Amino acid sequence: MLYAIIGEDVPGSLEKRLAARPAHLERLKALQDEGRMIVAGPCPAIDSPDPGPAGFSGSLIVAEFPSLEDAQTWADADPYVAAGVYARVTIKPFKKVFPS
């Protein structure tokens, strides 16, 4: 099943985010290599693809996991969680409709 993993950043977490980014991307690449990644990326804090020092307000990952518990376990081990980037992470089952 697909799950949406929505991470909400702590205000002012850009430095922590940048420091943890290589390890975070490595885990996302593993999901992609396994064919389980649908989409992933950050949410700029301002209306710009490159928010500069404004940073990001969070991230969205939609990927396939065997269960909600597995998605939660994976999300809990994210380097952004360990680095204190995320204030909270919400995980919801996701049903892809488009593109078909």
Tens-digit pLDDT profile for residues 19-55:
999 999 999 999 999 999 999 999 999 999 999 999 9
Which residues are CB-neighbours of 85 under 8 A, at least 6 positions away? 7, 9, 10, 13, 16, 17, 20
Secondary element (H or E) of residue 29: helix 14-33
Given pLDDT bands bounded at 50, 70 and 90, which one contains residue 97?
Answer: very high
Q: Does the N-terminal peptide bond of residue 44 adopt cis geometry, omega within 30 degrees of 0?
A: no
Which residue blocks in 34-76 are alpha helix, DSSP H? 68-76
pTM as predicted? 0.95
